[in-house]
A and B are shown apart, each in its own frame.
Chain A
């Protein structure tokens, strides 16, 4: 790397110091458990937007999916369309305001608590909490690995130390400052990410001769698409893959739909809606959130694809070859080789911010799920700061243990898996819960359980990308997957979400007709 370690260490130290100061402000403002759990329900719109966006966008979105765009092309821009259309507009306008209103009316403090109170069902709170404490540590571990893998070479640190220090830094401010500290630091981290990504897109197009020249150069490289990808349907970096080809299915079902829809039902993001003081705050947050997401994923996917032109101009090769076949290495390699030294520092802080902001939200959501929703559901002690802090520590330790066990190449896959699981399990019950006048408890439980079960089945027995490394299907049936193509490339979400949605809809309609098992949401 061109930047000397001393400069980087000093800047990183300043960044960490400011982060801790914001964490301290959060600590000082935290007077009661409602402050710790839902930031006192009085967050500023810009802080809500930046916190939501920075938690939404992890290192995986920039490095993992940016690398995927370098490999598969600009078709990933459709994920940005869903990120903004669903992840911001639909999430804030359709779900956010209702969630805030109901959350405040029912005094809900976590996502499972919200579900339990809407449906007046302790079982739903337990099930939601259980899915979170089982599924979320995997995603958290992937973010931890991503952060540690990046800190390791940057600061010449041993991997194990990098992992522990990274987790400890985030844990300290979440532990003491709760959600207020999380959201303050998220806002700082979101601002750094915005600066970093703005520089990245401008400099990339400047270096490649402007928008049309750069895109044309990438179009003209279509004959350099690796044979293995071309055989699976890839047609170039500025065109979509052949309709119905394996790459088209992966691009559309796993990357675009899986992640694009999955974001709607993520507990750590839904809690952000409950931190808003009023509907106005969420309207104002939309103004910041949409452009923020465009500058994150839109830039990452565009620059990822265009990095092929830069590597071709330098070495006569494409990005994936220059990165030695490692998709996750493409964006960092492009940054360090193509960008000026000062930008390398800004980008390193951008990546650190992306990882820390996501991690802090996940730590907080897991800890509160364990304490408020599982261990102490209905108990007064579950609302104490000390109890929640203990829950946080337990879940951080669990995530760290998983991080030491998981392989390093799991980052983007774990992100897509977690989002798919959340959507399959939570989305139909959450949507009906916030909108129906008499949401059916039985429908919600069956929808949640069936969505989760089908998602796990498809992941372990059909979807080759997970079934193969997991090996459960191989061990039980002697086959890698139960079904053949094209099912093996169709993401579990595409099957599990319709199943849970249909079950929710059918049972809800029946229940509404019969008024059997339905509950009235208190007005």
Chain B
């Protein structure tokens, strides 16, 4: 039981949802000034 949720599939779902939202933040910050590959920069 993690944070009151017994089913690991639900826990993984929450973990992935929050993780992907964080990944969006990290992606945005890392590529803040980067154009697409096709732009060659």
Contact of A117 with B by CB under 8 A: no
CB–CB A215/B4 < 8 A: yes
User: Which residues from A are CB-within-8-Å of B7?
Assistant: 236, 238-240
- Measured CB to CB, the closest approach of chain B to A51, in angstroms, equals 16
Contact of A294 among B10, B17, B28, B35 (CB under 8 A): B17
What separation, in Å, do the CA atoms of A81 and B11 have in the docked complex?
12
User: Which residues from B are CB-within-8-Å of A97?
Assistant: 36, 38
How many A-B Cβ pairs are below 8 Å?
117
A239-269: contact bitstring with B at CB < 8 Å (1 yes, 0 no)? 1100000000000000000000000000000
Contact of A75 with B by CB under 8 A: yes
CB–CB A81/B16 < 8 A: yes
Contact of B6 among A85, A217, A219, A280 (CB under 8 A): A219
CB–CB A279/B36 < 8 A: yes
- Measured CB to CB, the closest approach of chain A to B19, in angstroms, equals 9
CB–CB B17/A84 < 8 A: yes
Known: A101-B38, A290-B21. Is A74-B3 also a contact (CB below 8 A)? no
- Measured CB to CB, the closest approach of chain A to B9, in angstroms, equals 5
- Measured CB to CB, the closest approach of chain B to A127, in angstroms, equals 28
Q: Which residue of B lies closest to A214 (CB)?
A: B4
Known interface pairs A85-B20, A238-B4, A287-B28; 17 further A-B residue pairs with C-beta atoms within 8 A, sorted by A's residue number: A74-B10, A77-B17, A211-B4, A213-B4, A215-B3, A219-B4, A238-B6, A238-B10, A280-B32, A289-B24, A290-B21, A290-B22, A290-B24, A291-B21, A291-B24, A293-B21, A298-B17
Known: A85-B20, A89-B20, A240-B10. Is A219-B34 also a contact (CB below 8 A)? no
- Measured CB to CB, the closest approach of chain A to B21, in angstroms, equals 4
What separation, in Å, do the CA atoms of A280 and B3 have in the docked complex?
38
CB–CB A77/B13 < 8 A: yes
User: Which residues from B are CB-within-8-Å of A293?
Assistant: 21
Contact of A284 with B by CB under 8 A: yes
Q: Which residue of B lies closest to A294 (CB)?
A: B21
Contact of A216 with B by CB under 8 A: yes
CB–CB A291/B10 < 8 A: no
The 3 closest A-B pairs by CB, nearest first: A290-B24, A287-B28, A215-B4
Known: A283-B32, A294-B17. Is A240-B9 also a contact (CB below 8 A)? yes
What separation, in Å, do the CA atoms of A101 and B36 have in the docked complex?
9
What separation, in Å, do the CA atoms of A212 and B6 have in the docked complex?
11
User: Which residues from A are CB-within-8-Å of B25?
Assistant: 287, 290-291
Known: A238-B4, A239-B6. Is A279-B34 also a contact (CB below 8 A)? yes
CB–CB A84/B20 < 8 A: yes
Which residues of A are interface residues toward B (Cβ below 8 A)? 74-75, 77-78, 80-81, 84-85, 88-89, 93, 97-98, 101, 211-219, 236, 238-240, 278-280, 283-291, 293-294, 298
CB–CB A81/B13 < 8 A: yes
What separation, in Å, do the CA atoms of A284 and B27 have in the docked complex?
8
Known: A211-B4, A215-B4, A215-B5. Is A283-B27 also a contact (CB below 8 A)? yes
Q: Which residue of B lies closest to A80 (CB)?
A: B17
Known: A89-B23, A89-B27, A284-B28. Is A239-B4 also a contact (CB below 8 A)? no
Known: A240-B10, A286-B24, A287-B27. Is A212-B3 also a contact (CB below 8 A)? yes
Write 10 A-B pairs (CB below 8 A) sorted by A numbering: A75-B13, A84-B17, A215-B4, A218-B4, A219-B5, A219-B6, A240-B10, A278-B35, A284-B28, A287-B24
User: Which residues from A are CB-within-8-Å of B32?
Assistant: 280, 283-284, 287
User: Which residues from A are CB-within-8-Å of B36?
Assistant: 97-98, 101, 279
What separation, in Å, do the CA atoms of A217 and B5 have in the docked complex?
10
Known: A74-B5, A93-B27, A286-B24. Is A279-B17 also a contact (CB below 8 A)? no
Q: Which residue of B lies closest to A97 (CB)?
A: B36
User: Which residues from A are CB-within-8-Å of B3?
Assistant: 211-212, 215
What separation, in Å, do the CA atoms of A240 and B8 have in the docked complex?
9
User: Which residues from A are CB-within-8-Å of B24?
Assistant: 84, 88-89, 286-287, 289-291
What separation, in Å, do the CA atoms of A216 and B29 have in the docked complex?
36
What separation, in Å, do the CA atoms of A80 and B12 have in the docked complex?
12
Q: Which residue of B lies closest to A289 (CB)?
A: B24
